[in-house]
Amino acid sequence: MQYRVSSTPQELGQDAARTFVELYQQAVSERGVFTVALSGGSTPVHLYKALSQTRLDWSRVRFYFSDERTVPADHKDSNHKTAKDHFFDVVGIAPEHVFRMEGELDPQEAASRYAAVLPERLDLCYLGMGDDGHTASLFPDTEALHSSGRVVANFVPKLNTWRITFTFEEINRSRNIHILATGSNKKEVLLEVKNHSGKHPIEQVENPVWYVDGAIAELL
């Protein structure tokens, strides 16, 4: 496992943004475009703030999402809205370069439609980690943990709701996978993941680079 340790969530965002720029330059040089899947939760906001201060030709980037809640695009819980408010609108990302999961649709239909617009292979997939070891919307004891294909609808009993999510097959197809994790409530889970406990969904992610803050790095 590869780790990048920062003292604070803000420094984590800055470090992740620097690597974003490096991968952007490589992808644009080789393929002319940089394809990125963003994640949900609060931690990516630190990345968004750092990227908002970065000068890039944003027309060369295509943004996707690794999962979404079953809510409309303007709902406060929407991963798309978080990215839009803290990043897309700030730097002026063209709407046609953002591909959102349509959380307002039937989840199965939304998953099918999203799989059809994904690039053959993402350059970078961002993920987070919950304190139960889930990533994207691949929660413990849910059917999607064993799903094939690219994008699926996943019912999460403990939340009594559907989610739309990448499968592990899709995540692991990405050229680069970065996991952003902050908060002391996740350090015990991270230690178990490091020790290959086999207990947590996120352990099915192959060869990620972990970006962690000081609150959870003490156990590494």
49 contact partners, CB below 8 Å, separation of at least 6: 10, 13, 86
What is the reported pLDDT for 214? 85
pLDDT band at 215 (very low <50, low <70, confident <90, very high): confident
Q: Are strands 61-65 and 34-38 parallel, antiparallel or unpaired?
A: parallel
Q: Is the pLDDT of residue 33 over 90?
A: yes
Which one-letter DSSP state was computed for residue 209? E
What is the reported pLDDT for 219? 65
pLDDT band at 220 (very low <50, low <70, confident <90, very high): low
Q: Is the pLDDT of residue 3 over 80?
A: yes
pLDDT digits (tens, 9 = 90+) for 122-166: 999 999 999 999 999 999 999 999 999 999 999 999 999 999 999
CA distance 25 to 44: 21
pTM score: 0.96
Q: Which amino acid is it at 49?
A: K
Annotation: CATH topology of 2-184+194-212 = Rossmann fold (3.40.50)
Mean pLDDT of 28-44: 96
Q: Is the pLDDT of residue 184 over 90?
A: no
Terminal-to-terminal C-alpha distance of the chain: 11
Q: Is the pLDDT of residue 218 over 90?
A: no
What is the reported pLDDT for 45? 96
Mean pLDDT of 14-36: 98
pLDDT digits (tens, 9 = 90+) for 44-77: 999 999 999 999 999 999 999 999 999 999 999 9
Structure tokens at 101: 């999961």
Range of lowest pLDDT (11-20, 118-127, 177-186): 177-186
